[in-house]
Each structure stands twice: as C-alpha cells, then as structure tokens.
Amino acid sequence: MTGLRFPRELADEMVAHVLEGRPNEACGLIAAQDGDVVHVYRMTNVSASPVRYALDPKDQLGVYRDLDDRGWELGGVFHSHTRTEAYPSPTDVREAREDVPYVIVSLAAEPATIRAFRIVKESWSADDGEIEEIPVEVLG
C-alpha cells in the first residue's frame, strides 16, 4: 500500500470520533480496499487516558470478523494525539503490533491534522523501529 485515500465523509467521521473522545485519546480501526478507506470503526479506548490508547480485544476481534465477512482488509489503526503533533511517540512505536498504517489525528491545532505512518520493527516485541510516513489523501 503506497498511501491511504479517505473519502471526505470518512475522514470527517474519524475526526469527529477523536474530538468526542477528548480529553482522552480516541482510537479505532480502518477498513480499506485497494488503498481506499471504505469504513471507519469507532472503538473504545480501554486505557481511558489522555496519553495512551488501547483497543478492546473483544471489539477488535469483532472488527476482524466483519472485515473478513465483507472482503475488506485492515487498512490501518488510528488514534488521536490531543496535544501533540501527528507523529508516532516512543510509546506508539513500542506498542505497534501490526504491519499496517498507523494513522494519527492531531488535535493540537485547528483544523485537526491527519497523518499516517508505517512502523517497521525487527520483531513485533521490539521496543523500537523505523518510522516511514505514508501519504494521506482526503477526497472531496
């Protein structure tokens, strides 16, 4: 995948979800087909923290089943940074566990900023890795 293309309504839905989650970080999963975002799954941040996020494993399994049922791929994981730029923190890198884009929505300024990154690690248990930015395009 060379980039992510969001229809305007799905980018707006993702931003609305993270705005509603303040003061805590908000999170979710993204469904894609051929690089095009086709659905945004709003999820609960079970960490309930302004500086960390964690997806509910039970909800995550339900999303994976829905992706399989619809023939979609996991297009990415998204979360917000409520006060910092849209760039992976050391915690984001340490916690990365999937070879998918990590989308960060920064609420540090108006309007919100959406950026995506691939986090490349020698093993998923490694604490560090390389960060590669992936282009994000909002259509419409």
The answer to whether residue 1 scores a pLDDT higher than 70 is no
Residue 34: domain span:
4-139
Mean pLDDT estimate for the chain: 95
**pTM for the predicted model, two decimal places:** 0.95
Q: How confident is the model at residue 34 (pLDDT cuts 50, 70, 90)?
A: confident
| CATH number of the domain where residue 85 is located | 3.40.140.10
Rounded Cα distance between 52 and 49, Å, is 5
Closest CA to 32 of 59, 14, 50, 15: 14
Mapped onto helix, strand or coil, the DSSP state of residue 135 is coil
Percent of the chain with pLDDT over 90: 92
Please give the tally of structural domains in the chain: 1
